[in-house]
Amino acid sequence: MPRNASTRSRDGSRRRHASVLLLTCAAIAACVFAFASCSKKSSSDSGSESKPLVVGFSQIGAESSWRTAETKSIRDEADKRGIDLRLYDAQQKQENQIKAINSFIAQRVDAIILAPVVETGWEPVLMQAKAAGIPVILVDRGVKVSDESLYATLIASDFVAEGRMAAQWLAKALNGAGNIVELQGTPGSAPAIDRKRGFEEGIAPHAGLKITRSQTGEFTRAKGKEVMEAFLKAAPGQINAVYAHNDDMALGAIQAIEEAGLKPGTDILIVSIDGVRAAFEAMVAGKLNCTVECNPLLGPAAFDAVEKVLAGETLPKNIVVQDRVFDQSTAAEVIDSREY
Ligand code: GYE
């Protein structure tokens, strides 16, 4: 049956609709593709292909299970965001961290994350990073610099407050009287300086509370044990409590107390800071009395800061991580929910 004018025009308009529909779909697909490529933040767009962000991380070392948890958090978050992370372990030495930062500058990384082992001595290298236009994000420990524009932000806990919280718990447990020995963290580091100050402020109202001995245990379990052994030898029967700037040193002190034939957590009370899993196990076992949490899972916040700074945002100078106090009365209840 020959096809008349109206059927031909209907076919013609059907073909036109089909091509309009096709063109529209193609246009939508192109928009979606364009949007996908520009929204991938964690990549630096260099014209045709998007390169992953390159971030240098100058880590202090692996002195404690807290530090290991922090390193893992930053590694995992970089992987999750497809960021090329150049991690450098400085083995506790500032000169190694400075070398690492200079190498990151030479590699023209997009940003630098720094966990500064000590507070001072950073101005020259931070000025070089600034001159190279590379933003620096500080994690967990602060620096003392005359020009705060040398770093974009500091993501950390309030160490003075942590020291005060430990003091308040111990003052109550000792009814305001007793001899305390102190295991300090790395000399010159922000947590050691501030946790000491906060604790001293916290016990000041209690005339009966005295710090009778104080020495660095370098934030390690082994050194914590060694120093506690020396304290026990030097002052047998005269120690009522231990204040340790981190859980690892406290766990070393527990070993020393047990080897001296005493009951940690009973004969000598022990308060520390970090909130690592081993500390909760020691509290459940009655050997540690209290730990003030200091959250090491700083990966997400650190890379949020990196991406915001690279997007031109100005960040608050301090991003303070909230901490809580845990003791034997709550340890068993929360131990399974602990992430580090
Ligand atoms: O408390 C300790 C680590 O800088 C807050 O360093 C960190 C401290 C932490 O060695 O376990």
The protein residue with its alpha carbon nearest to ligand 1, atom 5, reads 140
Please work out whether the CB of residue 92 comes within 6 Å of at least one atom of ligand 1.
no
Task: Name the burial class of residue 131, with classes exposed (0-12), middle (13-18) and buried (19+) by CB atoms within 10 angstroms of its CB.
Answer: exposed
Q: Give the length of the chain.
A: 340
pLDDT of residue 40: 47
296 Cα nearest atom in ligand 1? 5
Please work out whether the CB of residue 65 comes within 6 Å of at least one atom of ligand 1.
no
Please work out whether the CB of residue 168 comes within 6 Å of at least one atom of ligand 1.
no
pLDDT of residue 18: 75
pLDDT in tens, 47-103: 555 789 999 999 999 999 999 999 999 999 999 999 999 999 999 999 999 999 999
159 Cα nearest atom in ligand 1? 5
CA distance 280 to 338: 9
pLDDT of residue 50: 77
Q: In order along the chain (340 residues), what is the average pLDDT of each group of 10 residues? A: 57 72 69 53 55 96 97 98 98 98 98 98 98 98 97 98 98 98 97 98 98 98 98 97 98 98 98 98 98 98 98 97 96 96
Candidate from 97, 219, 221, 273 with most ligand 1 atoms within 8 A of CB, to mutate: 219
Candidate from 58, 60, 64 with most ligand 1 atoms within 8 A of CB, to mutate: 64
Q: What is the DSSP letter of 134?
A: -
pLDDT of residue 2: 46
pLDDT in tens, 14-30: 677 677 777 677 766 66
CA distance 291 to 187: 21
Please work out whether the CB of residue 159 comes within 6 Å of at least one atom of ligand 1.
no
Radius of gyration of the chain (CA): 28
pLDDT of residue 1: 43
- Residue 115 — φ and ψ, nearest 5°? -105, 95
Residues 267, 330 contacting (CB under 8 angstroms)? no
